[in-house]
C-alpha cells in the first residue's frame, strides 16, 4: 500500500509541476507575442486591466482614527484608569472598529470590481477568439489578472494590519453590595 500511495503522490507532484510549467510557458508566450489583455496597469510589474474604487480614502480615514485611538490609549494608560477614562477610550475604539471595517470593505470592493473587469475582458476575448491558442491566451490572461489583483488586495490588507485590542475594563467598587 505504501508503494501505491508513493507512486500516486509522485504522479500528482509531476502533474502539479507540469501545470506550473505550462502556466509559465503561457505567460511567457503572452508577454512575447502581446496576446491578451493590455491596458492601464494596477501593478507596475504587469499589464493587467484595473479599476480603482479608491480604497485609499478609507485607509487614510482608518489611519487618522487609529492615531486618535492611540493618543486616547496613551492618555488612558497615563491616567488613573477610571471608568470615565475607559468610556472615552471605548468610544474611540468603536470608531476605530468602524473605520477598520470600512477600509476592509473598500479593499474588497476594489478587488471585486477588478475581477469583474477581468472577467468581462476574458469573455470579450473568448467571443472573438478563433482558434484554441487565442482562447488559451485569454484564459491565461484572466488567471494572471486574478493573481495580480489578489496580490494587490493582500498587500493592502497587510498594510492595514490588525485591529488593536481594547484594554480590559477597570474594576471598581461601584454598586450596592460592595
Domain boundaries, the chain: 34-160
C-alpha cell at 89: 477610550
Q: Is the pLDDT of residue 106 over 70?
A: yes
Structure confidence at residue 133 (pLDDT): 93
Q: Is the pLDDT of residue 97 over 60?
A: yes
Residue 145's nearest CA partner among 6, 30, 37 is 37
Structure confidence at residue 171 (pLDDT): 75
Q: Where are the beta strands (DSSP E) in 29-125?
A: none
- Per-residue pLDDT of 124-178, as tens digits, reads 999 999 999 999 999 999 999 999 999 999 999 999 889 888 888 877 666 565 5
Q: Please tell me whether the overall predicted TM-score, pTM, comes out greater than 0.75 for this model.
A: no
Q: Is the pLDDT of residue 42 over 50?
A: no
Angle, helices 55-78 vs 132-160, to 10°: value is: 20
- Per-residue pLDDT of 43-95, as tens digits, reads 444 455 666 666 888 888 999 999 999 988 888 888 888 888 888 899 999 99
Q: Could you tell me which residue, 40 or 67, shows the higher pLDDT?
A: 67
- Per-residue pLDDT of 2-25, as tens digits, reads 454 444 445 445 544 544 545 454
User: Helix-strand-coil percent breakdown of the chain, rounded to 5?
Assistant: 75, 0, 25
Amino acid at each position: 500500500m505504501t508503494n501505491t500511495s508513493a507512486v500516486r503522490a509522485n504522479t500528482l507532484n509531476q502533474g502539479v509541476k507540469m501545470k506550473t510549467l505550462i502556466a509559465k510557458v503561457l505567460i511567457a508566450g503572452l508577454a512575447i507575442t502581446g496576446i491578451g489583455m493590455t491596458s492601464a496597469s494596477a501593478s507596475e510589474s504587469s499589464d493587467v486591466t484595473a479599476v480603482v474604487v479608491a480604497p485609499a480614502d478609507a485607509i487614510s480615514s482608518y489611519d487618522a482614527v487609529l492615531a486618535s485611538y492611540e493618543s486616547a490609549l496613551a492618555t488612558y494608560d497615563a491616567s488613573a484608569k477610571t471608568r470615565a477614562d475607559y468610556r472615552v477610550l471605548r468610544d474611540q475604539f468603536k470608531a476605530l472598529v468602524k473605520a477598520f471595517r470600512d477600509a476592509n470593505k473598500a479593499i474588497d470592493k476594489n478587488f471585486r470590481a477588478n475581477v469583474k473587469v477581468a472577467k468581462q475582458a476574458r469573455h470579450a476575448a473568448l467571443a472573438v477568439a478563433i482558434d484554441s491558442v487565442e482562447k488559451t491566451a485569454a484564459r491565461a490572461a484572466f488567471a494572471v489578472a486574478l493573481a495580480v489583483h489578489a496580490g494587490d488586495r493582500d498587500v493592502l490588507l497587510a498594510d492595514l494590519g490588525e485591529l488593536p485590542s481594547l484594554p480590559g475594563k477597570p474594576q471598581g467598587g461601584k454598586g450596592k453590595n460592595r
